[in-house]
């Protein structure tokens, strides 16, 4: 350490008589930094071996009234009895050694930071120049950092690992790595900018910035040839560690892993605030890896394409490993990768406005822990519980486009695998994949809870457009789906709510509770084993009989039977109401509403039902007791029934036919009331009442 000697006479602060000699002996002085008014570090010797404590005892003037000390470079002030005097120190040629091979003038020129061109090195890429490169970094370390310009041409062979902060390495030359790595910097606030790096040995870390606030800018890190490995080998071309570090506009290719972002070892050591922006990672085994316990990371406007050396597990465009949190992935492209385009094991993440096309497995995959249930009996998952279970929750998947993924496999445009909850999937366009959107349990025992699908367009996918296996709640709002199904192989799918959606074929056979509101089922609906189904608004088109055994209500709905089909039940039916329903059955040759006596409900309200059936067909054949039937209007011809009651204690009123005033309403049970119908009323039981009908023979 080379320090500057400072001597001040206390008399400079006070010209009054001091005992006849103007000396101020044993007077306390304080030396402070101008920047923040803190005590500066002062010494009694030029080498900085002995520090002078500023304790009011050691920092006093000598017998000549002088305050004498040594101090490093900087802007300071001396304070005596509340009076101040500013001063500044800087290196002097006489006190500077020629460390690092620098001249005295080099030190003087670089007193505010090291800035030098890397000269006199071999630029053919043949001679190992690691020593010179390392020495240049050592020189920068003398000044706490600076700028190292590597030049604008040629290839420089280096294999360097250093600990330094505040260093920028820049230039247009190419660095060629050695057998282990090329360039590794441990420290903070370092920047690598605008040069190429060639990996020659498929190293573990070709370039690695390890520390906080580091930046890789406009680098190209690559191997000359694409790997032909049939296994998943994962060395890193460009690796980044630490908080608030970033990779910007870099290209990586022909490696094992293009980009790697290190995380923490536990929830208490998460890495925060990084950024990967504008990068292109291609032709690797894996395009990129985000390691566990990375949080609050922005990954935007990157391309992870053609990372397809092989198709084995792990050959993804970008893999975000379990327990990453609060990632924001947007405007990225994932194209033609060996397995998934994006594989994210996450919580509280936003995945939006990305394109995932032609990947060999799923376009966008979201994975949790297999065979894992939610273990949160205390009502809230702790970090430790998250870490053990890697549960994924409360993620937003929106405005993404996925096409032609997973062809020939059981993979999807968007694939959500247990264990997950609280997902919002909205405004995505998912077309021409093997499967469209799948939220399923890959193995028994996992859970998917509380998923909301909003206004997605999911059509033209080969197997199914939408597949849901949700243990608790699913909500579909708007959107278009070609073929949609639900299934739960090992437990009950509790509730699905479908609002304002357009669905081709719907299968809710394993759902306990279904709410269909203002939605349109255009082809078929399999309801065979569901628990409770409520329909309000929208339309249902079926190319088979509609089984309403599990329906509790149908309201304000259009039902179309596309062929010779009926509304019926194959198990006990408990429907409570059919209100404001239009039924189109132009090809039916039997009863349009026709639930057998064995499965017939009781106490159902049928109100304002319009039936457009072929002539000569009975509109409604109703078994059961205690029904209320009003306002049924059909195309029934003379001599045929608009409504036939085959139970007791029912009422029928205000029913009519569009085609014939001689069409009938008949009751074959007891204690029924038939009143005010524009039909011929006929009964064959006891205690029935007929009143104010068109005719009562």
Q: What is the pLDDT of residue 19?
A: 46
pLDDT band for position 674 (cuts 50, 70, 90): very high
> 530-567: per-residue pLDDT in tens?
678 899 999 998 888 999 998 999 999 999 998 999 99
pLDDT, greater one: 661 or 79: 79
Q: What is the pLDDT of residue 384?
A: 55
C-alpha Rg value of the chain to the nearest Å: 40
pLDDT at 451 over 90: no
Sign for the CA dihedral angle at 427, 320, 431, 303 comes to: positive
pLDDT band for position 367 (cuts 50, 70, 90): confident
Kindly list the distances between the CA atom of residue 166 and the CA atoms of 102, 148, 688, in Å, as whole numbers in the listed order.
20, 11, 98
What value does the mean pLDDT of the chain take?
Answer: 85
For residue 419, whether the previous peptide bond is cis, meaning omega lies within 30 degrees of 0, is yes
pLDDT at 487 over 60: no
pLDDT, greater one: 529 or 223: 223
Q: What is the pLDDT of residue 113?
A: 47
Q: What is the mean pLDDT of residues 397-417?
A: 93
Q: Which residues pair with 360 in a beta bridge?
A: none
> 286-323: per-residue pLDDT in tens?
999 999 889 999 999 999 999 998 887 889 999 998 77
Residues 607, 580 contacting (CB under 8 angstroms): yes
pLDDT band for position 401 (cuts 50, 70, 90): very high
Highest mean predicted confidence (pLDDT) among 206-210, 409-413, 683-687: 206-210
Q: What is the pLDDT of residue 138?
A: 85
Least confident residue range of 100-109, 316-325, 659-668: 100-109
pLDDT at 17 over 50: no
Q: What is the mean pLDDT of residues 143-151?
A: 83
pLDDT at 491 over 70: no
Highest mean predicted confidence (pLDDT) among 110-124, 314-328, 493-507: 314-328
Residues 287 and 305: their CA atoms lie apart, in Å, by 7
Measured between alpha carbons, how far apart are the two ends of the chain, in Å? 122
Half-sphere exposure for 433 (CA within 13 Å, toward CB): 38
Q: What is the pLDDT of residue 63?
A: 82
Residues 546, 525 contacting (CB under 8 angstroms): yes
Q: Is the pTM of this model over 0.85?
A: no
Q: What is the pLDDT of residue 365?
A: 94
pLDDT at 94 over 50: no
Residues 511, 486 contacting (CB under 8 angstroms): yes
**β-sheet with 30-33: strand ranges across:** 30-33, 74-80, 83-89
Least confident residue range of 64-68, 185-189, 521-525: 521-525
pLDDT, greater one: 196 or 313: 196
Which stretches does DSSP call E strand in 302-360?
303-305, 318-325, 328-330, 333-335, 342-347, 350-352, 355-357
pLDDT band for position 370 (cuts 50, 70, 90): very low
Residues 238, 261 contacting (CB under 8 angstroms): no
pLDDT at 669 over 60: yes
> 238-273: per-residue pLDDT in tens?
999 999 999 999 999 999 999 999 988 666 778 999
pLDDT at 443 over 60: no
Q: Which residues contact 379 (CB under 8 A, 6 or more apart)?
A: none
Residues 354 and 555: their CA atoms lie apart, in Å, by 39
Q: Give the residue among 661, 662, 624, 619 at the shortest CA–CA distance from 642.
A: 619
Residues 31, 52 contacting (CB under 8 angstroms): no
Q: Which residues contact 262 (CB under 8 A, 6 or more apart)?
A: 210, 239, 240, 241, 242, 271, 291, 294
Q: What is the mean pLDDT of residues 621-627?
A: 96
């Amino acid at each position: 350490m080379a320090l500057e000697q400072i001597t001040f006479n206390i008399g400079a602060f006070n010209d009054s008589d001091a005992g006849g000699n103007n000396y101020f002996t044993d007077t306390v002085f304080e030396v402070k930094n101008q920047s923040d008014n803190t005590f500066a570090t002062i010494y009694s010797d030029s080498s900085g071996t002995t520090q002078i404590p500023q304790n009011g005892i050691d920092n006093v003037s000598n017998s000549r009234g002088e305050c004498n000390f040594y101090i490093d470079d900087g802007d300071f002030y001396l304070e005596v009895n509340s009076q101040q005097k500013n001063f500044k120190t800087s290196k002097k040629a006489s006190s500077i050694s020629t460390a690092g091979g620098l001249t005295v003038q080099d030190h003087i020129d670089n007193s505010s930071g090291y800035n030098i061109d890397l000269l006199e090195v071999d630029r053919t890429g043949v001679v190992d120049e690691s020593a010179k490169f390392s020495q240049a970094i050592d020189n920068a370390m003398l000044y706490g950092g600076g700028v190292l310009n590597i030049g604008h041409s040629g290839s420089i062979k280096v294999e360097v690992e250093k600990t330094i902060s505040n260093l920028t390495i820049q230039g247009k030359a190419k660095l060629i790595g050695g057998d282990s790595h090329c360039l590794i910097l441990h420290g903070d606030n370092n920047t690598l900018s605008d040069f190429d790096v060639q990996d020659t040995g498929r190293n573990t870390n070709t370039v690695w910035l390890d520390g906080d606030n580091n930046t890789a800018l406009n680098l190209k890190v690559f191997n000359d040839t694409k790997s032909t490995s049939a296994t998943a080998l994962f060395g890193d071309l460009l690796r980044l560690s630490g908080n608030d570090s970033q990779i910007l506009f870099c290209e990586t290719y022909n490696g094992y892993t293009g980009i790697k972002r290190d995380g923490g070892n536990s929830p208490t050591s998460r890495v925060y605030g990084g950024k990967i922006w504008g990068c292109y990672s291609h032709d690797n085994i894996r395009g990129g890896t985000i390691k566990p316990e990375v949080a609050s990371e922005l990954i935007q406007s990157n391309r992870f394409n053609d990372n397809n050396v092989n198709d084995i597990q792990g050959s993804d465009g970008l893999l975000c490993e379990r327990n990453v949190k609060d990632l924001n992935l947007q405007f990225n492209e994932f194209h033609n990768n060996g397995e998934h385009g994006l594989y994210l094991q996450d919580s509280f993440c936003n995945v939006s406005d990305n394109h995932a096309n032609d990947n060999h497995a799923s376009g966008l995959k979201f994975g949790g822990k297999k065979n894992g249930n939610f273990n949160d009996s205390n009502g809230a998952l702790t970090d430790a519980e998250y870490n053990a279970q890697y549960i994924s929750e409360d993620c937003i998947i929106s405005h993404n486009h996925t096409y032609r993924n997973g062809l020939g496999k059981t993979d999807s445009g968007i694939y959500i695998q247990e264990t997950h909850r609280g997902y919002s999937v909205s405004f995505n366009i998912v077309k021409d994949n093997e499967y469209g959107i799948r939220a399923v349990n890959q193995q028994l025992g996992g859970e998917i809870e509380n998923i909301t699908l909003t206004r997605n367009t999911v059509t033209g996918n080969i197997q199914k457009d939408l597949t849901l296996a949700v243990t608790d709640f699913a909500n579909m709002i708007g959107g278009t789906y070609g073929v949609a199904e639900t299934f739960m192989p090992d437990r009950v799918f509790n509730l699905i709510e479908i609002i304002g959606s357009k669905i081709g074929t719907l299968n809710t056979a394993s759902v306990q509770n279904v709410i269909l509101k203002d939605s349109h089922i255009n082809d078929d609906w399999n309801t065979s084993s569901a628990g409770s189904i409520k329909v309000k608004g929208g339309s249902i088109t079926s190319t088979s009989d509609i089984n309403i055994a599990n329906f509790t209500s149908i309201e304000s709905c259009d039902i179309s039977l596309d062929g010779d089909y009926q509304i019926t039940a194959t198990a006990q039916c408990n429907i409570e109401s059919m209100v404001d329903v239009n039924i189109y059955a132009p090809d039916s040759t039997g009863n349009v509403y026709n639930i057998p006596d064995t499965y017939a409900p009781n106490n159902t309200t049928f109100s304002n039902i319009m039936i457009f059936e072929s002539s000569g067909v009975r509109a409604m054949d109703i078994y059961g007791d205690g029904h209320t039937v009003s306002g049924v209007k059909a195309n029934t011809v003379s001599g045929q029934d608009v409504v036939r009651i085959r139970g007791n204690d029912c009422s029928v009123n205000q029913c009519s036919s569009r085609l014939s005033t001689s069409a009938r309403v008949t009751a074959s049970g007891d204690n029924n009331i038939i009143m005010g119908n524009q039909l011929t009323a006929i009964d064959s039981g006891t205690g029935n009442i007929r009143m104010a009908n068109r005719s009562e023979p």
